[in-house]
Amino acid sequence: MYPEILYVMAEDLLDACRENGLTLALAESCTGGLVAGCLTAIPGSSDVLDRGFVTYTNASKSQMLGVPSELFDHVGAVSAEVARAMAEGATQNANANIALSVTGIAGPGGGTTEKPVGLVYMACARDGMETQVERHVFDPGPGDDEDQRHRVRIQAVESGLKLLLNCCAATT
């Protein structure tokens, strides 16, 4: 289901979390649980991954993660501010001290000139560190709508695992 490199990255991430005594939570929107699925494909991941929140709607982002509803009116769900609030909310609403959030536009519709298809914000919150936020515009590439959507989501999983690995490696 996932490219082999993602399984390798997932194993590396789980090992890094174990080495650093970190418990992980995920807050996913456009990836719909794909990051959690990649991590849970690895045997023994339950000793690191506490839970994943799939918060596809704005209401679920507010209810489950505590994202202030006024952010959606001011900056939209696909924004650095919402990604930050999602990641920080995941650590506060889980038994976790590190969390990744992902929010974006996987397509094929929903894009605008300001926020094109492929735009994804992600954030990593870790206790004792400033939350890191990244902005990506992934290339949907050729193919039909389903292929393009899948490609954006898989690129988001890869970048999310990289961000988590970097946050795990950082010293608090």
**pLDDT score of 172:** 60
Model's pTM, two decimal places? 0.96
Per-residue pLDDT of the chain (172 residues; tens, 9 = 90+): 899 999 999 999 999 999 999 999 999 999 999 999 999 999 999 999 999 999 999 999 999 999 999 999 999 999 999 999 999 999 999 999 999 999 999 999 999 999 999 999 999 999 999 999 999 999 998 888 899 999 999 999 999 999 999 999 987 6
* Residue ranges per structural domain of the chain: 4-169
Q: CA 164, CA 41: separation in Å to the nearest integer?
A: 17
Domain 4-169 bears CATH identifier 3.90.950.20: yes
Torsion of CA 170, 129, 124, 84, to 10 degrees: -160
**pLDDT score of 170:** 84
Other CB atoms closer than 10 Å to residue 44's CB: what's the count?
11
Q: Token pair of 150, please?
A: 């899948």
Q: How many residues does the chain have?
A: 172
> Residue 130: helix, strand or coil by DSSP?
coil
Alpha carbon distances (Å) from 135 to 33, 40, 87: 19, 25, 14
Q: What is the DSSP string of 31-61?
A: TTTHHHHHHHTSTTGGGTEEEEEE--SHHHH
